[in-house]
Amino acid sequence: MSSRRQQSRQSGASRITDDQIADLVSKLQQLIPEIRSRRSNKSSASKVLQETCNYIRNLHQEVDDLSHRLSGLLQSTDADSAQATIIRSLLM
Amino acid sequence: MNHCVPDFHEMNDDDSIPTPSSFSRPKKTTTGEEEIMELLWQNGQVVVQSQNQRPPNRSASSGEVVIPSDREIRSSAEEQQHLFIQEDEMASWLQYPLDDSSFDRDFYADLLYSTPPPPPLTTATAQPRAAAEIRPPPIPAPVARPDNPPRVQNFVHFSRLPIRQRTARESSTVVESNETPAAAPESRVSHTVTDSGPPVNADSATVRTGGTSAAAGTCDYTVASSPGSSPTSFSGDTHQPQHKPAAAAEDRKRKVREVDDNECQSEDIEFEAAEGKKQGCGSASTKRSRAAEVHNLSERRRRDRINEKMRALQELIPRCNKSDKASMLDEAIEYLKSLQLQVQMMSMGCGMVPMMYPVGVQQYMPAAMGLGMGMMDMGMSRPMVPYPPMMAGSAMPNPAATVAHMGPRFPIRPFHMRPVPVPDPSALQPTNHADQVSNSTAIPQNQPRFQNFPDPYQQYLGFHPTQLPIPLNQVVVQHDANKPSTSKDIGNPHNQQTGIKTMLLLRHFTLYTE
């Protein structure tokens, strides 16, 4: 990053952000299944960010759902069973 | 334009011209005098009347009449027009209606609203003055006769619309819309010729634009915008030819868009020709500057969009205190990975638990303890209980806890599972969660090394994060396949067992992220 910053000195702050953003956006792009399935080189930063936000929200939702399920399962198992421990670990 | 007036005045005498009364389009032209002369289109003839004069006959159903009369008018207009208006002026004027029947129809429909039609249409010629006394009234609410009877149809087209300003952009579009029937009513109103002084000359561009926008949907838009802009435009630029060319250029662009639907393209061509001359004056620079402006605006908008999304993302990421974009994105990436992992683990757990029932608990325990931990001494049949607590401490469901710590931290926690089943969860941050992914591949390799629990960790360290997406199921399968000899305690590879182990293993890695 320092190199980027030095670079940017002449071009201003924009250079840094552009490079960084491009790099990170590409990383994000790899992580997000939706975008990854499409042509990888097509999305803009704003689109990737939007998809990231959506994806994170979805994951949050999933985590909540899974937590509920696991807690339900936990209640149905023996307190000391292996399953229980596993579930507990997961839920923690 | 002034010279035209006499013609129009003369025409007043022609009231005698048959006026079906149903369809008369008053056309307003602003002459030098503040009076508004209207060119009334009566049964295909153009009759000039002062605003005050209204043809007595107004048919109730002007609308209906209009349509059929359009054609008549058009044809008759041709004939008549030359009578009333100077040839050169009329020519351009005439061409417009003749070109397109449908257009006229639409146009007439608009006229029904009876507000003075917005101008610019036909004056293809560069002489705005010509017959065009018809000033395309700016969009502002027509002061003129708002109560114009619907019957009176104003001829919008003669566009020498003065609306040619920068701001006239809207107005110009409005002008364009004038032609379009959709916008008609408003445009009509706006067209009430304001007294703006010099008639609009060269806005052939405007005129052109007017013509082109036949039924473009943009018309509505333009109409809406024009009211606001027109007042200014009119007042401002009545006399600015430079603006006109510039505006013309813009209008042209706009027109181009609308032209597709336009049927009056022929007229546009005329206008363009006319404009071309005007363009020469200084439009090039204005065009460039305008293009630059547009570019800047769009660039700014794009940046704003990105910033807004970054802020939203920042809110989603727990404990993100970074103000720098790059670091924030870094954190977002890590958080996203951990979240993905967590979800995977949990879903696997959900799937596993039901399956565990059929299997004897005993089997699970060693299995769980064995591979799952990887680190644990396989030979030991430690109760699993100690282990899970350790993992539980990691609070997987709370990735946020240590998201900030995620990253290239590879502190390998010595897994003192056996003696102390509960090493601090925080201490258990063996490797990057990414490493877990590889457990599928790592596990088989590590099997022989299960004895030294620290080793398996190291095995995972090097694994590629790309393996993360590998579904856990696959991992489980691999486990079975690859671990014939796994822990001695585990005689038979059970999918569930391996699955659990995998899960625990992953969980273990997840701890790191917490």
Work out the pLDDT band at B301, boundaries 50, 70, 90.
very high
Using CB atoms within 10 Å of the CB of residue B438, give its burial: 0 to 12 exposed, 13 to 18 middle, 19+ buried.
buried
pTM of the model: 0.35
pLDDT of B291: 92
Q: Which residues of A touch B (CB under 8 A)?
A: 1, 16-17, 20-21, 24-25, 27-28, 31-32, 44-46, 49-50, 52-53, 55-57, 59-60, 62-63, 66-67, 69-70, 73, 77, 80-83, 85-92
Assess B420–A contact: CB distance below 8 Å, yes or no.
Answer: no
Q: Do A89 and B396 touch (CB under 8 A)?
A: yes
- Listed residue (B281, B61, B34) closest to B151, CA to CA: B61
Beta carbon pairs, A and B, within 8 Å: 151
Q: Of B280 and B44, which is predicted with more confidence? A: B44
Work out the pLDDT band at B289, boundaries 50, 70, 90.
very high
pLDDT of B230: 44
- The two tokens of residue B283 are 């439009």
Res. B299: pLDDT tops 80: yes
The residue-averaged pLDDT of A7-30 equals 64
Work out the pLDDT band at B231, boundaries 50, 70, 90.
very low
Res. B335: pLDDT tops 60: yes
Res. B68: pLDDT tops 60: no
Burial letters for B243-255: b for 16+ Cβ neighbours within 10 Å, e otherwise? bbbbbbbbbbbbb
- Listed residue (B159, B26, B189) closest to B96, CA to CA: B159
Res. A50: pLDDT tops 50: yes
Question: CB-CB: which of B325, B329, B396 is closest to A90?
Answer: B396
Question: CB-CB: which of B313, B385, B395 is closest to A53?
Answer: B313
Q: Of B482 and A64, which is predicted with more confidence? A: A64
User: For the residues of B49-109, what is the DSSP string, one character each?
Assistant: EETT---S---TTHHHHHHHHHHHHHHHHHHHHHHHS-HHHHHHHHHHHHH-HHHHHHHHH
Q: Do B385 and A80 touch (CB under 8 A)?
A: yes
pLDDT of A73: 75
pLDDT of B112: 52
Q: Are B385 and B431 in contact (CB under 8 A)?
A: no
Residues from chain A that touch B345, judged by Cβ atoms under 8 A, are: 90
The residue-averaged pLDDT of B125-134 equals 46
Which range scores top for mean pLDDT: A55-59, B99-103, B318-322, B428-432? A55-59
Least confident of B110-124, B314-328, B386-400: B386-400
Other beta carbons within 10 angstroms of residue B328's beta carbon come to 20
Mean pLDDT over the full length of chain B: 52
Q: Are B128 and B237 in contact (CB under 8 A)?
A: no
The ipTM value here is 0.80
Work out the pLDDT band at A45, boundaries 50, 70, 90.
confident
Q: Of B23 and A67, which is predicted with more confidence? A: A67
Work out the pLDDT band at B293, boundaries 50, 70, 90.
very high
Q: What is the pLDDT of residues A51-87, one digit of tens each?
A: 888 888 888 898 888 888 877 777 777 666 676 667 6
Continuous segment of H or E residues that includes residue B374: none
Rg (C-alpha) for chain B, rounded Å, is: 40
Work out the pLDDT band at B458, boundaries 50, 70, 90.
very low
The residue-averaged pLDDT of B259-279 equals 51
Assess B312–A contact: CB distance below 8 Å, yes or no.
Answer: yes
pLDDT of A30: 75
Q: Of B382 and B297, which is predicted with more confidence? A: B297
pLDDT of B84: 52
Question: CB-CB: which of A24, A45, A82 is closest to B356?
Answer: A82
% of chain B beyond a pLDDT of 70: 14
Phi-psi region of A12 (alpha: psi -120 to 50; beta: other; left: phi over 0): left
Phi-psi region of A73 (alpha: psi -120 to 50; beta: other; left: phi over 0): alpha
Q: Do A90 and B335 touch (CB under 8 A)?
A: no
How many whole angstroms separate alpha carbon B12 and alpha carbon B6? 10
